[in-house]
């Protein structure tokens, strides 16, 4: 008779995995924000893009997904989707960390929805970005090779707003205009008061603003969104938790107010842009220690430009 040591091994493995499972779901899985509404935290020490998704009666809606983390995110979605398919996909803006999963979802039958401005930005950008990713070789080749921008582009476009009726949930996709980039779009669940804002919000991280941005408009949008009194806000980057409310939006507004005031003072004192870029971080007080300090010079330049144009 042949013994089966693998039988014991498998049993041990199952017991081990059973103990591991709750830990894994807390670290890697879907975070429940409301009934059927979830967020997935980005990796890389929390700096990578967060995903928001809704499991509705009529299928799953996904907002923002990083292709390098596609497998984990799809797993997290499936773990709570109860067999429902991913049917709708939208992006906060055209950047690769947000849009490079679109074609993978579309190949499985999902419809990509996006503002006309997002479509305008994405069309020339996507093929170049995919080529770069292929060269870098960090992402599974089968996710990149032979893929066409047509699959990533929105199938249904809108000017200002489109409402998705998932039966159990309403999701309003709202084009808010130029802020971080010219094409920022949020997803708002009016019943649950949950807001997915993508890169309009970086939490406790220096945000990226540059020549594509309009920071003054960005701040108006932040204050407007805060006035809707969201129960939970999922930022593009940085930490979030159920019930975090409008506070992080107002914090971002205060960050920009602080930075603009300090830059204006230095500019009015006749200091050069280069000089201001070197000195600004030390002037940011409570915000100075935030990670992502690489974003500070670009934001400083953009503030300098906005301060130099009469608006
Ligand atoms: Zn981003």
Is the predicted pLDDT of residue 156 greater than 50, yes or no? yes
> If you measure from the C-alpha of residue 201 to the centroid of ligand 1, how many angstroms do you get, rounded to a whole number?
9
- 231 CA to middle of ligand 1, Å? 22
**Ligand 1 center to 69 CA (angstroms):** 14
pLDDT on residue 123: 98
Q: How far is the CA of 64 from the centre of ligand 1 (A)?
A: 9
Closest to 290 measured CA to CA, from 233, 241, 238, 245? 238
Chain mean pLDDT for the chain: 93
Tell me how far apart the alpha carbons of residues 300 and 282 are, in angstroms, rounded to a whole number: 13
What's residue 27's pLDDT? 46
Query: How many residues comprise the chain?
Result: 311
pLDDT at residue 311, rounded to an integer: 56
Residues sharing a CB contact under 8 Å with residue 227, sequence separation 6 or more, in sequence order: 246
Contact between 201 and 134 under an 8 Å Cβ cutoff? The reply is: no
Using the mean position of ligand 1's atoms as its centre, give its distance from the Cα of residue 11 in Å.
Answer: 43
What integer is the mean pLDDT of 283-290? 96
pLDDT digits (tens, 9 = 90+) for 23-57: 444 447 999 999 999 999 998 778 999 999 999 99
CA distance 199 to 52: 13
| H-helix or E-strand spanning residue 31 | strand 31-34
Q: Among 9-13, 155-159, 263-267, where is mean pLDDT lowest? A: 9-13
Helix (H) or strand (E) holding 172: strand 170-177
What mean pLDDT comes out for the span 59-69?
A: 97
Pick the closest to residue 204 from 98, 46, 34, 56 (CA basis): 46
Coil, helix or strand for 286? helix
- Say how far apart CA 235 and CA 179 lie, in whole Å: 14
Contact assessment for residue 287 and residue 255, using Cβ atoms and an 8 Å cutoff: yes
Burial 221-257 (b: 16+ CB within 10 A, else e): bbeebbeeebbbbbbbbbebebebbbebbebbbebbe
Q: Which residues contact 224 (CB under 8 A, 6 or more apart)?
A: none
Helices and strands, number each (H, E), in the chain: 10, 12
- Tell me the per-residue pLDDT of 205-262, one tens digit each, with 9 for 90 and over: 999 999 999 999 999 999 999 999 999 999 999 999 999 999 999 999 999 999 999 9
Distance 66 CA to ligand 1 centre (A): 9
What kind and span of H or E run contains 18?
helix 5-28
Distance of CA 239 from the midpoint of ligand 1 (Å): 14
Distance CA 160, CA 214 (A): 18
Q: Are 34 and 82 in contact (CB under 8 A)?
A: no
Answer yes or no: is pLDDT of 185 > 70: yes
Mean pLDDT of 174-188: 98
Which domains, ranges and CATH numbers included, belong to the chain?
31-202+212-246 (3.60.15.10)
Confidence band of 298 (pLDDT split at 50, 70, 90): very high
Distance from residue 97's CA to the centre of ligand 1 (Å) = 6
Stated pTM of the model: 0.90
Q: What's the CA-to-centroid distance between 160 and ligand 1, angstroms?
A: 21
Q: pLDDT above 90 covers what percent of the chain?
A: 89
């Amino acid at each position: 008779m042949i013994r089966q040591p693998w039988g014991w091994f498998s049993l041990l493995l199952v017991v081990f995995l059973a103990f591991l499972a709750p830990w894994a779901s807390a670290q890697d899985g879907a975070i429940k924000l409301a009934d059927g509404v979830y967020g997935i935290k980005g990796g890389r020490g929390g700096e990578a893009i967060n995903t928001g998704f809704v499991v509705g009666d009529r299928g799953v809606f996904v907002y923002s997904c990083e292709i390098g983390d596609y497998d984990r995110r799809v797993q997290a979605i499936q773990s709570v989707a109860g067999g429902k398919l991913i049917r709708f996909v939208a992006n906060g803006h055209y950047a690769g960390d947000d849009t490079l999963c679109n074609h993978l979802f579309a190949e499985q039958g999902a419809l990509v929805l996006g503002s006309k401005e997002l479509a305008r930005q994405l069309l020339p950008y996507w093929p170049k970005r995919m080529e770069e990713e292929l060269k870098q070789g960090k992402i599974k080749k089968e996710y990149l090779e032979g893929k066409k921008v047509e699959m990533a582009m929105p199938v249904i476009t809108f000017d200002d707003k489109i409402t998705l009726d998932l039966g159990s949930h309403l999701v309003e996709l709202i084009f808010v205009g130029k802020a971080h980039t010219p094409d920022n779009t949020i997803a708002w669940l009016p019943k649950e008061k949950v807001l997915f804002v993508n890169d309009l919000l970086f939490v406790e991280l220096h945000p990226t603003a540059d020549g594509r941005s309009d920071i003054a408009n960005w701040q108006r949008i932040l204050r407007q969104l805060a006035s809707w009194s969201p129960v939970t806000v999922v930022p593009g980057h940085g930490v979030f938790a159920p019930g975090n409310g409008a506070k992080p939006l107002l914090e971002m507004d205060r960050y920009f107010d602080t930075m603009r005031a300090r830059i204006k003072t230095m500019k009015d004192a006749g200091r050069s842009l280069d000089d201001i870029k070197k000195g600004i971080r030390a002037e940011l007080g409570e915000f100075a220690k935030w990670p992502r300090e690489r974003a500070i010079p670009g934001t400083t330049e953009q503030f300098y430009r906005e301060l130099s144009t009469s608006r």
